A = this chain, B = another copy of it.
Amino acid sequence: FETSPGAVRLYYLYNHWVMQATTYFFIFLNLSLVLFEEPAVYPLPFLATSLIEVLCLLVFSVRLMHFAKVTPRNVFWKDTKNICVMVAILMSLTDLAIFGALRIYNVRSVRWSRIVRPIFLINFAESRQIRRAFRSIRNTFPEITYVFLLFMFSVLMFSLMALKLFGERNLQTAEGLPYFTNYLEIVFDLYVLVTTANSPDVMMPAFDFSWWYALFFITYVIINTYIFMSVFLAVVYNNYRKHLKNEIRKLAYMKRRKMVEAFNLLKEEEGAEFVVREAQWKQLVKLVAPDISNSHRELLLHISDDEQKGFIDKKSFVRLADLLNIQVITLKIRRHPLGRWMPRVYSSAASQFLRSMVRHRGFVWTYDVIILINAIFIALDEESPYISYAEWVFLALYIIEILLKVYTYEPRTFFGKNQFWNWFDTLIIFAALTATILNTTLKSTTEYNSQQILDIVFILRVLRLIRIVDSIQRFRVIMNTLINIVPTMLTFGGLTLVVYYVFAIIGMELFQGKIQFFPANSNAPHALECGNPALKDSMFARGKYCKNNFNNFASSFIVLLELTVVNQCGFAKVTVQAAKLYFIAFHIVMVIIIVNIFVSFILEAFFVEYSLEKSEVETAIEQKIQELG
């Protein structure tokens, strides 16, 4: 790493938030192109989408070159993620060129390079979290593979038994098809049974034939659904914990090394040992953490320089990073701005009484009761005018509550960083107020009731009720844990996006147009069979699932979401049997691996919450605070 001013400036520029935001913008622009390309949700001409794509690729190339400038050459070329990005750019360009050329001669080809687009999301340096998650998945692979093979062996064995037991009975499924006569179909049916999607259906013909055959399915479900799926969770969870420990250890080690390096740069000799002088230490802290208060900095100094010697030794210096990570809530007893501007009014008897009233527990209880009454009003019918008037009353009450609270507590404290619920309340109420006013104006001026705005008003009204959870201590603990894990859940969101993106594009190529959705009163041929005669009399058509199709990216996305929940698959009927592999692959990647990692993550988050142990450094700070009084 060069340390010349030019290189450093280039490095700063590379890490500037505008540059990062631009990169992310183009990554998502590139990903969202799929909405506008054939088969499109909102069709755009091919020229437009391809121009945008070229633009995106250009931005990625520039970004990559910039990164090459700020990294030593050998490091840059050793890093697989850079190679990946370069290959992806080249592949996209080639594919685009071929597709465009063939298009001119009216030959339809497949835009296969679209599945490499998520690579940009994964491999740009900014999405370190997602890359780490992918690494974790890769590490889990060997372990999972063994269990998976054993699991597949069990499925194959049971399928063989099923073929022998039921194959020659001439049984029929509910759809009138032959039951359990083809080995591969049995394997697939039993695999789907593991996901519980076709749970009683697949068993019913055999069960109707004889009691005892139910035992076969019971054994199957116990072994494969309950035991094997738990073993998968165990393997993933175990690996997740191991991986987490390694990452933390590595991070701690890196941090320590960097701190030692910093110490070596700043150190001066003092007696027998090297130390950092207080003045320099203060300057450093000011530079690194500019937004902490003076008293907080003094506190840190007191802890680091325990015996007030005017300098800090190596051990205490290295601990600085940990110290800075701990949130010390600076309970500044700020005076209320109103108290400063009109002190007489603010500290008058009436004002004091008001404030003590707001601070009283009864205030919270009163509003809890109001929320409950509001819930009943919401559940009641909207038609009566009294109830829509009541809505205004409730809105007013909530606004008064917020105003009273701001009047009582200091506004900056009330809207502090950690005051999630205050923010939540205020946003919900003001959004509801805006939407309600907007709706009323629209109604009175244009006589037109905008459904979108009404929907939003409804949702906001109901969301208001969540507040009641905050009044009960035990609920608050659980809610806080849930809120704390939201940022990490976004990583899973990214991971899921990548997997869905790839599968949605493959799915569109495989199943596009095979199933169509017609409105309820359509006269089109085969409207009842989702436009495909192969689905006649199938449970798929009867259940009115026609909108579950792969005809564009948005519906593919929703179908994949449904497949994550239960792996139903009427699609295999409308195409070749091998397409079933697509569903099995999706189940393995999404449910067996990613959902299990997600569950592991939540398990771990709650275990940490339950074993509320304070770290060593935190205890040191607390001790010091107590000493200082």
Q: Does A234 have its Cβ within 8 Å of any Cβ on chain B?
A: yes
Q: Are A544 and B208 in contact (CB under 8 A)?
A: yes
Q: From residue A479, how far is it (CB to closest CB) to chain B in Å?
A: 7
Given A149-B475, A174-B542, A238-B607, A230 and B602 contact (CB-CB distance below 8 Å): yes
Q: Which candidate, A100-108, A159-167, A309-317, A506-514, is the interface stretch facing chain B? A: A159-167
Q: From residue A573, how far is it (CB to closest CB) to chain B in Å?
A: 16
Q: Are A547 and B208 in contact (CB under 8 A)?
A: yes
Q: Which residues of B contact A558 (CB under 8 A)?
A: 207, 214, 218
Q: Does A585 have its Cβ within 8 Å of any Cβ on chain B?
A: no
Residue-wise interface mask of A (520-543) relative to B, using a CB-CB cutoff of 8 A (1 in contact, 0 not): 100000000000000000010011
Q: Does A603 have its Cβ within 8 Å of any Cβ on chain B?
A: yes
Instruction: Report the interface size class on chain A.
Output: 35 or more
Q: From residue A564, how far is it (CB to closest CB) to chain B in Å?
A: 9
Q: Which candidate, A69-77, A220-228, A349-357, A617-625, is the interface stretch facing chain B? A: A220-228
Q: Which residues of B contact A160 (CB under 8 A)?
A: 375, 378-379, 462, 465
Q: From residue A161, how far is it (CB to closest CB) to chain B in Å?
A: 5
Q: Are A208 and B517 in contact (CB under 8 A)?
A: yes
Q: Are B150 and A475 in contact (CB under 8 A)?
A: yes
Which of B165, B233, B469, B475 sits near A455, CB closer than 8 Å?
A: B165
Q: From residue A121, how far is it (CB to closest CB) to chain B in Å?
A: 20
Q: Which residues of B contact A598 (CB under 8 A)?
A: 226, 230
Instruction: Tell me the residues in window 370-385 of chain A with beta carbons closer than 8 Å to chain B beta carbons.
Output: 375, 378-379, 382
Instruction: Tell me the residues in window 199-250 of chain A with beta carbons closer than 8 Å to chain B beta carbons.
Output: 199-201, 203-205, 207-208, 211, 214, 218, 221, 225-227, 230-231, 233-235, 237-238
Which of B463, B544, B606 sits near A231, CB closer than 8 Å?
A: B606
Q: From residue A488, how far is it (CB to closest CB) to chain B in Å?
A: 12
Q: Does A548 have its Cβ within 8 Å of any Cβ on chain B?
A: yes
Interface residue SS majority, chain A: helix
Given A163-B379, A595-B226, A607-B238, A562 and B200 contact (CB-CB distance below 8 Å): yes
From A210, which residue of chain B is reached at the shortest CB distance? B451
Q: From residue A402, how far is it (CB to closest CB) to chain B in Å?
A: 21
Which of B147, B157, B165, B200 sits near A466, CB closer than 8 Å?
A: B157
Q: Does A561 have its Cβ within 8 Å of any Cβ on chain B?
A: yes
Q: Does A196 have its Cβ within 8 Å of any Cβ on chain B?
A: yes
Which 8 A/B pairs are nearest by Cβ-Cβ distance?
A234-B606, A164-B458, A230-B602, A174-B544, A199-B566, A161-B462, A230-B599, A146-B474
Q: Which residues of A come within 8 Å of B, CB atoms?
A: 146-147, 149-150, 153, 157, 160-161, 163-165, 168, 172, 174, 183, 196, 199-201, 203-205, 207-208, 211, 214, 218, 221, 225-227, 230-231, 233-235, 237-238, 375, 378-379, 382, 455, 458-459, 461-463, 465-466, 469, 474-475, 478-479, 482, 517, 519-520, 539, 542-545, 547-548, 554, 558, 561-562, 565-566, 568, 595, 598-599, 602-603, 605-607, 610
Provide 14 A-B residue pairs closer than 8 Å at the C-beta atoms, listed in order of the A residue.
A150-B479, A157-B462, A157-B465, A157-B466, A164-B378, A174-B542, A200-B548, A207-B558, A226-B595, A226-B598, A230-B599, A231-B478, A234-B603, A542-B542
